[in-house]
Amino acid sequence: MTQKSSRPISVVTGGAGFLGSHLTDRLLSAGHDVIVIDNFITGSPQNLEHLAENIHFKFIRHDVTEYIFVPGHVDYVWHFASPASPIDYLELPIPTLKVGSLGTHNALGLAREKQATFLLASTSETYGDPLIHPQTEDYWGNVNPVGPRGVYDEAKRFAEAMTMAYHTFHGMNTKIVRIFNTYGPRMRLRDGRVVPAFISQALTNQPLTIFGDGSQTRSFCYVSDLIEGIYRLMMSQYHYPVNIGNPREMTIQEFGKEILKLIPTSSTLEFKPLPVDDPKVRQPDITRARTILDWEPQVDFEEGIARTIDYFKSKI
């Protein structure tokens, strides 16, 4: 990839992860040159191997909690680096806090140095175990800072505060996306989230593990829809947080029963105690995304989950 290019140049931190790799594909298809930075703490080289011969793609193996050096011009910085599943941030609590704080500081510093537009991949977890439903962007959340999920929730909340500080103090062009539950190809089989957990359990005839009574809800957005919304946000003139997710809500028990219908299996539902601070509801209000970005999900659940099952079949 040459530095002198008429193509926009994007830096994607965490670009070897599930979402980061799909974003990288989207950017390349939109005519960007893309530099991915990742240290593979949770990402995978396999997510990027199809780009090995692409002259518009470059990979830098680096921990973004250390100073980030990228030569030449940069137009956009997309900060996606972070452990993002309960298993990850429970096993990696301090790296999770560091990437949300030091990593965000370094990524913002890179964007400021290059006079680039910056986008923070934040999360619906900033709402914690919400007391309002569905969740709107002006809700401040209900988060336990010293609970087991606090390392992720507070890292992202701090990252949002720092992003807004760079916007207000330095006048930087920044964006914040709050990502709700997303699924699709390239999710890891055992990352602790319900979609890969249920699909892999059903494909291997193991019980589908439901925590609590399964009445807690989630809203599942297919990855291509999410990435499109994030791309539109980066290209917009809006600087405050925007929810991107699918407002179709279902209980975990309903989702488990759907998987059992779609996959021939001897699996059954198995109930276990609910983890501490597990959110009881999760549903985005996407009025802001519809109004500002003219965005809403296009892939229905049946189509998206069929694609995802096919992907996991190829990995088991």
212: phi > 0 → left, psi -120 to 50 → alpha, else beta; which? left
CA distance 308 to 186: 9
Q: Find, among 116, 114, 104, 113, the residue nearest to 165 by Cα.
A: 104
**The pairing of beta strand 269-272 with beta strand 208-211:** parallel
Letter for the amino acid at 45? P
Q: Does the annotation count 231 as an active-site position?
A: no
Phi, psi torsion values for 75, nearest 5 degrees? -95, -40
Q: At CB < 8 A and 24+ separation, what contacts does 190-194 make?
A: 190/87, 191/42, 191/85, 191/87, 191/88, 192/85, 192/86, 192/87, 192/88, 193/85, 193/86, 194/218, 194/252, 194/255
**The one-letter amino acid at 310:** D
Q: Which of 89, 152, 222, 231 is catalytic?
A: 152
Q: Is there a contact between 220 and 301 (Cβ–Cβ < 8 Å)?
A: yes
Q: Are 187 and 173 in contact, with CB atoms under 8 Å apart?
A: no
Q: Which residues contact 168 (CB under 8 A, 6 or more apart)?
A: none
Tokens for 17?
């992860």
251 φ/ψ angles, rounded to the nearest 5 degrees = -75, 160
Contact 78, 11 (CB under 8 A): yes
Q: Provide the annotated active-site residues.
A: 152
